[in-house]
Structure 1
Amino acid sequence: MLKLDARDIKILAVLAREGRISKAELAERVNLTATPCWERLRRLEAAGIIQGYHADIALSRLGPSVTVFVMVELGRHKAEDFQVFERTVADFEEIVACWALGGGFDYLMQVTTRDIDRYQRLIDELLARRISVARYYSYIVTKGVKTGGVPPLAALFEDLSELPVKSG
């Protein structure tokens, strides 16, 4: 287990908000010199805690798009059915996120396409693959109210002195 301290959490919090910050500025913001800050950053990356750096793209400025949240219920609930569904979902670039759920539905997918017609073609293709989809419900996003949030790291941990985190 990798132990994190308050400074590691601060590094993560800064990077979650400002992924393009320079290493020198990051070190200054967390009150470290460059080398120890860089070593902590490499350790967090190597442990898989930092999984990547991404741009927050304003799709509305690029052209038309539609985001749809889809609740999916499978017809069968065997391990193989879940595995087949999850492998199939991974094949579709338009399915930008998918979560397995506990409760009434099995999955929540976030789909982004150019328009509703392309969304429907994606659903038709999923259904044609016979991956045990019993039913699905589509919820079209009409307006983003709060998006791109960063993890509330300080709120998640009461004691920042030593946080055990599984490596790998």
Structure 2
Amino acid sequence: MSMEYAPPLSFGREEAKKHVEVFLNTACPYCHNFFLAAHEAVMPRVEAGEVRYTIKHYDKPKVRLLHGTIANLFIDYNQPNEAYEIMKSLFLTQKEWARLDSGEIEQMMEQEYGCQEQRSTMNLSLDITKEALERSISVVPTVFINGEKFEFDSRSPVGTIGKALEQAVDSI
């Protein structure tokens, strides 16, 4: 019996000289700021072939993040463009759905996004959790640029994070 598996959400050329990697959770307000900043600062560079961008949804066992974990289990990472758009929508509407209970989140993912729970995403979640523990990642968002931890104030506004991210990528 083969185990269903989905890859992490990754965009850009495998051989790109710069790699931005983030561990995040869609229920985290600080991840919201990073995701939107990276959408503006990193995605154009991905499209230009300069950067590879990998997003790893960390289903960290923390009460405040459980809503993100529930929503994440419905995202099909085998459809990366759709997965990215769903994730972006979840961040943009985070304040509304983060107040729902688990059953309401499941219903939202099914009705509003047309998603079903993904066994392959559950397996990916376990792999990402294992990796996060091995790499001693204790908070989200945690960001790496070419393997080096990117230090930034996650409480900063989107524009400030975006500028810091651009500068960090440029300096490599």
TM-score range normalised by the length of the shorter chain: under 0.3
Which TM-score applies when normalising by structure 2? 0.26
TM-score, normalised by the number of residues in structure 1: 0.26
Q: Which has the higher strand share?
A: 1
